[in-house]
Structure 1
Amino acid sequence: MKIQFAPLNIPLRRRLQTAAVLQWVFSFLALAQCCLAGYVLLCISNWWVLAALYAGWLYLDRDTPTSGGRRSEWLRNCSVWKHFRDYFPLNLIKTVDLDPDSNYIFGFHPHGVLVAGGFGNFCTEASGFSSLFPGLTPYLLMLPFWFRIPFFRDYIMCGGLVSSEKASLSYLVSAPRGGNVAVVAVGGAPESLDARPGALTLQVLHRKGFIKLALKHGAQLVPVFSFGENELFDQMTNPAGSPLRWLQDHLQRLMGVALPLFTGRGVFQYSFGLLPYRQPIHTVVGRPIPVVQTPSPTKDDIDCLHSLTFSSLSLQWVGLFQWSRPPLPLRMI
């Protein structure tokens, strides 16, 4: 394989963009392991008292990831995220105004490999979420597993990440004064195994938990589509039924996290690596689907709203072809 090296005269702004994305990829793929290793070393060192005190803090703070987290506006507005935004670039598009007196569930599609659009638009202010949707506070839901890792949990909560447990989503969308936005990657981690350029496969037909909670609490459902999300990485071929896909599915059920085998570009060359390709991401926030609060929704209530939600997604997809170059077929499973 011929390696395509990056030129030496790259402008400083592009180097800063690459550095910003590099630290994000590191945070996503390796920071949790480093935090866990650091805590273990603290436990067996002369500073074990600090580890014990932190363990006590973890116990006292155990409910925070399911109670809105602990966001830091300083971190969300840090200038590093503007470089992160400009790397792709990342663009958040509003189609209609949203009433800040209501609570919302943003159904985010597709998951992609590393959810770059979800993170950049809803865990930072780089794309101007607060300006586009004044009075609304976004929370991106993440697997509960990550909130059990010392130090790492505190870092991710600063960006507005919260646990994806049912209690966490209920807490957000039951706020009496409204103004909360729970961003749910509907396809979840398994959908990342189908994320590759030129493909749009959404795992949605059996995802009804968030529909039930929307009915129970009267939260409005908003389809959100991130065009370009699947164009950021190549992934090893893993069709359904193949040995690799069987192993990935088995590990996902065992550990709760998916393990896509992906590749992108490097820091000093463009032929291989773990950095995403520089492909534009257009994250479009669609028109809300009004939900009538039903404290005890029946199966028919859930199925009816589920069908309406994804019919709306299909219709909005047809109207948003302008953000897909070229237009790609949409497949729901």
Structure 2
Amino acid sequence: MKVEFAPLNIPLARRLQTAAVLQWVFSFLMLAQVCVGIFVLLIIYNYWFLYIPYLTWFYFDCRTPEQGGRRSHWIRSWTVWRYFKDYFPIHLIKTSDLDPSHNYIFGFHPHGVLVAGAFGNFCTNYSDFKKLFPGFTAYLHVLSIWFWCPFFREYLMSCGPVSVSKKSVSHLLSKEGGGNISVIVLGGAEESLDAHPGSFTLFIRQRKGFVKMALTHGAYLVPVFSFGENELFKQVNNPEGSWLRAVQEKLQKIMGFALPLFHARGIFQYNFGLMPYRKPIHTVVGCPIPVHQTENPTPEQIEELHQTYMKELQKLFDEHKGKYGIPEDKTLIFK
């Protein structure tokens, strides 16, 4: 295989975009482990004056990820995130106005490999979110395990993510006066194993907890589809029934997160590496589905709203797929 190297005369802006995405990929894949390793070393070498105060802080702060987190406007405004957004680039598209007197659940699809669209649109100040949805604050929900990693949790929260636990979602949707948006990647880790280019498989049929939360709090549901999310990486072929898929699913059940064997391009060449391809991401926010608050929803009410949500998600995909180069015969596959 002939390696295709990047030309030397690439503009500085594109090099900075590559550097921005490189640090993001490193943060996503390795920073938590590095932070845990540093903390372990502090204990091994008995730097008690560092780890004792931190453990004390951790004890009193451990509930923060379930109580709206602790975002930092300064960190969300780092110039690195502008270069990150422009690398792909990432776009946010609104199809309907939202009433800021309500709280909402954005169901984000698909998960993709590293959820770049969700991060770029809802965890930085360089997306068009504030311009398109004035009066709202969006909270991206991520796996709770990340908030148990010392040091890493502070960095993660500073960008805006919060825990995906029921307590966390309930806390945000209980806000009086509205204005909160819970962004939940509904397919979760399991869906990332099907994040192949050209794939539109969504794990949604058994995901009904978000519907119950919406009914309990009277939060409106909004389907969101991120076109291009699955085009950023390629995966080692792992069809259902293969030994690789069996191992991945087993590990996912044990650890709570999946391990897709993905690859794309490198930093200085285009043939192999862990850098995502420069593929545009268009995150389209659909129309809200009104929800009447029901403190103790019945299974029938949950199922009815769940069916309505899937129909609206399919409708959103069908109405916009042609704009982003998806063939007319392609459709969503619900699992």
Give the TM-score of the pair, scaled to structure 1. Answer: 0.98
Partner SS state of residue 294, structure 2:
coil
Distance 2:333 2:255 in 1: 27
Deviation at 1:48, TM superposition (A): 2.1
Deviation at 1:323, TM superposition (A): 3.5
Task: Give aligned-pair identity as a percent.
Answer: 60
Contact kept in structure 2, 1:107 and 1:223, CA below 8 Å: yes
The aligned counterpart of 2:184 is 184
Task: Give the letter aligned to residue 57 of structure 1.
Answer: W
Distance 1:319 1:326 in 2: 11
Deviation at 1:325, TM superposition (A): 1.2
Deviations 1:110-131 (A, max 9, x none): 0000000000000112112111
Contact kept in structure 2, 1:138 and 1:181, CA below 8 Å: yes
The aligned counterpart of 1:55 is 55
The aligned counterpart of 2:253 is 253
Q: How does 1:96-175 map to 2 (within 5 A)?
A: 96-175=96-175
Partner SS state of residue 141, structure 2:
strand
Moved more, 67-76 or 45-54: 45-54
Partner SS state of residue 272, structure 1:
coil
Task: Give the letter aligned to residue 287 of structure 1.
Answer: C
Gaps of 5+ in 2: none
Poorly superposed stretches of 4+, deviation over 6 Å = none
The aligned counterpart of 2:331 is 329
Contact kept in structure 2, 1:227 and 1:283, CA below 8 Å: yes
Distance 1:144 1:71 in 2: 16
The aligned counterpart of 1:95 is 95
Deviation at 1:44, TM superposition (A): 2.2
Task: Give the letter aligned to residue 203 of structure 2.
Answer: Q
Task: Give the letter aligned to residue 190 of structure 1.
Answer: E
Deviation at 1:46, TM superposition (A): 4.9
The aligned counterpart of 2:220 is 220
Moved more, 75-84 or 215-224: 75-84
Matched, 1:288 2:258: no
Task: Give the letter aligned to residue 287 of structure 2.
Answer: R
Deviations 1:235-255 (A, max 9, x none): 000011100000000000000
CA RMSD of aligned residues (A): 0.9
The aligned counterpart of 1:35 is 35
Q: How does 1:254-333 map to 2 (within 5 A)?
A: 254-327=254-327, 328-333=330-335
Contact kept in structure 1, 2:225 and 2:316, CA below 8 Å: no
Partner SS state of residue 98, structure 2:
coil
Contact kept in structure 2, 1:43 and 1:52, CA below 8 Å: no
Gaps of 5+ in 1: none
Deviations 1:81-140 (A, max 9, x none): 111111001100011111111100000000000000000000112112111111100100
Give the TM-score of the pair, scaled to structure 2. Answer: 0.98
Contact kept in structure 2, 1:227 and 1:323, CA below 8 Å: no
Partner SS state of residue 105, structure 1:
strand
The aligned counterpart of 1:77 is 77
The aligned counterpart of 2:86 is 86
Distance 1:78 1:98 in 2: 28
Partner SS state of residue 126, structure 1:
coil
Distance 1:227 1:125 in 2: 21
Contact kept in structure 1, 2:217 and 2:295, CA below 8 Å: yes
Task: Give the letter aligned to residue 33 of structure 1.
Answer: Q
**Matched pairs, number:** 333
